Structure 1
Amino acid sequence: MIKKSILLLAMMGIFISSCSVSKSARDQRNLLSGTWNLDNVHYENNSGNFKSVIFNDAEDICFEDSEWFFRDNNSTGRYTIRQGTLCQGGDRFFRWSVVEPSQNYSSQLQFKFIDDKRKDISGGYGYRLNIVSLTPQNMTLKSNVSVNGQPVTIVYEFSKK
């Protein structure tokens, strides 16, 4: 009986420690928390003009000047696109987290779409953006995509409201 109790306590300790978030990820979550304006979307690593649908939602131009809100206490957020001739305006809700850096990438912001009742509407599918820089005033995120088999990097530049 004592051996089972010790084993159970050890397993609980491993489980709890595996669920903890590093200080770096916690600091980034705290910096992300709040309202941001997406000031600019542009492309790197390839020449030419690009027009793309971002996050399987709207054209890149629709995201410029969109408002993003991150709530760190329950890992939910939203972005709001303004209504326009090319843009279906409104709020899009998401659940987000910061993924710890690894050998292959820096820290990443990951999110998936949810409805206004916080239920997953993306079928578990989500997005990851590399956190290139994050300060109390500015944030730059990048995502790597492929266009006709050629790598292109989408750059998202935010400012804190």
Structure 2
Amino acid sequence: MTKMKVMSMLILVGLVASCSVSKSARQQRNLLSGTWELNDVSYENNDGAFKSVIFGDAQDICFEGSNWFFRDNNSTGRYTIKNGSLCQGGDRFIRWSVIEPADRLSQLQFKFIDEKRKDVSGGRGYRLDIANLNEQTMTLKSNVSVDGQPVTIVYEFTRK
């Protein structure tokens, strides 16, 4: 083989390796794949009653009972909110992945897409810590600030 072919092969191998997903992230993706119901949205690390708009979309109460679907073979999915007096029902399409920051828990990250899988959020997205994930239950957490004080939003799911 010529030096050029060897260099090309090494570059290709490097690119493939840099894009690969770790074994634990793959396992979490496989566990996430499927349909989940968001049963409860609650708050930790601060006293008081909270009401919030989640993901810039709807009030927290609208998410309780929502269905979430994750397809792992193409990293797309959706969540569906039921229509109600406080809630604009319907499907919200997402592109998602599992990342493993070095300094914290694995995270589910997602951004909004349209039915044709085009980004509709200007590249912005959301990251939720994966506090618990098994065959039947999932707990996700996100840290936010309310009046300069930390609050953790807790999302409790069960598999459907």
For residues 50-74 of structure 1, give each alpha carbon's deviation from its aligned partner in whole angstroms, at most 9, with x where no partner exists. Answer: 0100000000000001000001111
- Any stretches of 5+ residues in structure 1 without a counterpart? none
SS of 2:80's equivalent in the other structure is strand
Partner Cα distance (1:136, 1:101) in 2: 23
SS in 1 for 2:46: coil
Task: Write the deviation string for residues 76-130 of structure 1: whole angstroms up to 9, x where unpaired.
Answer: 0000000000000000000000002412x11000000000111100000000000
1:32-47 matches, within 5 Å, as 32-47=32-47
* Amino acid corresponding to residue 119 of structure 1 in structure 2: K
**Which secondary structure state, in structure 2, belongs to the residue aligned with residue 26 of structure 1?**
helix
Answer yes or no: is 1:110 the counterpart of 2:109: yes
For 2:92 and 2:16, locate their aligned partners in 1 and report how far apart those are by CA, in whole Å. Answer: 32
Q: Secondary structure of 1:88's partner?
A: coil
**Matching residue of 1:126:** 125
RMSD between superposed Cα atoms in Å: 0.9
TM-score (norm 2): 0.98
Gaps of 5+ in 2: none
Which residue number corresponds to residue 69 of structure 1?
A: 69
Q: Kindly report structure 1 stretches of 4+ aligned residues shifted beyond 3 Å.
A: none
Q: How many residues align?
A: 160
CA distance in 2, matches of 1:13, 1:75: 23
- Could you tell me which residue of structure 2 aligns to residue 9 of structure 1? 9
Aligned to 1:26: 26
- Residue in 2 aligned with 1:152? 151
Moved more, 51-60 or 92-101: 92-101
Distance in 2 between residues matched to 1:55 and 1:101, nearest whole Å: 21
Q: Secondary structure at the match of 2:40?
A: strand
What TM-score results when the alignment is normalised by the length of structure 1? Answer: 0.97
Aligned to 1:56: 56
Counterpart amino acid of 2:112? Answer: F
The CA deviation at 1:5 is 1.5
Q: Using the alignment, how far apart are the partners of 2:55 and 2:88 within structure 1? A: 14
Tell me the SS of whatever aligns to 1:5: helix
The separation in 2 between residues aligned to 1:88 and 1:100, in whole angstroms, is 33
Structure 1 counterpart of 2:136: 137
Code of the residue aligned with 1:144 in structure 2: it is N
